[in-house]
Chains A and B, each alone.
Chain A
Amino acid sequence: MLYSLTRPLDLAMHIPDGFLSLPVSLVTWALSIALIALGLKQVQNRYNDRAVPLMGVCAAFIFAAQMINFPIPGGTSGHLLGGTLAGILLGPWAGALVMTVVFIVQAVLFQDGGLTVLGANIFNMGLVGTFAGYYLYKGIRSLFGLNSWRSMAVATAITGWLSVVVGSLLCALQLVLSNTVPLKVAVTSMLAWHIMIGIGEGLITLIAVSYVWRTRPDLLYDPPRAGSQKVSSVSSPF
């Protein structure tokens, strides 16, 4: 217990070393490395240099936003993850890479999240939410209209919320497989908090995306089409 009492301002705690067993840690490392490698390849093939500033700004914003814990009822706090935001702005691959950089810097520079469990943290919060979240978001938008703001808002909010809930479930599962905590307790307690925290994620992501939609919709990875004209690939960053 002293471990948590000595910290002055405990910002953004991810999974620390010691919570996960070696096998679980190795598997999540392997999954993360595989997905990161895929992301690197896809970014190399599909993106041009106009995407670089957006990647940098997105990464900077997500890192900073992750520092701002907001209180939630019950004496706990939440913070933005940002995977959904990264995916919406940059697509699943560049988005995943941006998230990876954020988590690496957090763990290496600021001891936020253990180094042995960095693979798990990246996987839960930076990869699953960004990859799967992107396709879910895209699916919802396709369903309700690619050019409508309302459709965009719904897709963004739902995906943002779900990315937090699913991430927390994955974490719970990893804790259980590591024999750190029993299944029922892990799932119910993690879900209970993160169902609420996810609302914050959905809201913050919505506000950020709304700003981009209003000022530079062409920077969205899947921009709305103005009338029937496709956004020219010369001006697109991708």
Chain B
Amino acid sequence: MKLPTSQKTIAFWLTGLGAAFFLAGIVSPFASPNPDGLDRVSQDQGFDTKAQENPPAHQLPFYAIFDEYALRGVPEPIATPLAGIVGTLVVFGMTWGMGKLLVKSPQEIPIPQAIESDGSRDDRHREGRE
């Protein structure tokens, strides 16, 4: 039994996704260019040179599309926002897909309401599950 999705629920999801796309697509170019913690330590202590110049990720087809967080082949000002938006979409889609593959719908899980008055559990839902 799926409950209807209320307006309030939709507003919540839109806010969350909206915030994500706002950050990725608008705010990202304004991110601090300073090196992050590990970057900084590696530079100060001189082991940043140990980073591979041509790491395995450069062999992937995505390297032809993205130079780190910048979409190739577009004007510089929109390269990062576009990369951010694509990344956000991909992460959203992959997580949703993974979630869908893993979880069950509520009907397949015995819910407390299925407990009979004598305390026994209605286990009909569990048949067929190992």
Q: Could you tell me which A residues sit within 8 Å of B by CB distance?
A: 1, 3-4, 7-19, 40, 43-44, 47-53, 55-61, 63-65, 67-72, 75-79, 94, 97-98, 101-102, 104-112, 114-116, 168, 171, 175, 180-181, 185-186, 189-190, 193-194, 197, 211, 215-216, 219, 233-235
Q: Closest CB-CB distance, B7 to chain A, in whole Å?
A: 12
Q: In the complex the two chains form, is B50's CB within 8 Å of A60's CB?
A: no
Q: In the complex the two chains form, is B102's CB within 8 Å of A40's CB?
A: yes
Whether B104 is near chain A, meaning CB under 8 Å from some CB there, is yes
Q: In the complex the two chains form, is A114's CB within 8 Å of B52's CB?
A: yes
Q: State the 10 A-B residue pairs at the shortest beta-carbon distance, nearest first.
A: A52-B99, A59-B95, A77-B34, A64-B24, A57-B16, A193-B37, A17-B55, A64-B23, A77-B32, A60-B20
Q: In the complex the two chains form, is B95's CB within 8 Å of A67's CB?
A: no
Number of interface residues of B (CB under 8 A): 80
Q: In the complex the two chains form, is B17's CB within 8 Å of A57's CB?
A: yes
Q: In the complex the two chains form, is A71's CB within 8 Å of B57's CB?
A: no
By secondary structure, the B interface counts as helix
Give Cα A111–Cα B52 distance, bound, in whole angstroms.
Answer: 12
Q: In the complex the two chains form, is B96's CB within 8 Å of A105's CB?
A: no
Contact A51:B16 (CB < 8 A) given known A3-B53, A17-B52, A57-B92: no
User: Which residues of A lie under 8 Å from residue B32 when comparing CB positions?
Assistant: 69-71, 77
User: Which residues of A lie under 8 Å from residue B22 when comparing CB positions?
Assistant: 64
What 0/1 pattern do residues 65 to 102 of B give for CB contact below 8 A with A? 11011100000100010011011111111111011101
Q: Closest CB-CB distance, B61 to chain A, in whole Å?
A: 10
Extra contacts besides A102-B91, A114-B57 (20): CB < 8 Å: A4-B48, A9-B69, A10-B39, A17-B56, A18-B51, A47-B99, A49-B105, A51-B99, A55-B98, A59-B91, A60-B91, A68-B28, A77-B35, A105-B87, A189-B45, A194-B37, A215-B15, A216-B8, A234-B1, A234-B113
Q: In the complex the two chains form, is A9's CB within 8 Å of B96's CB?
A: no
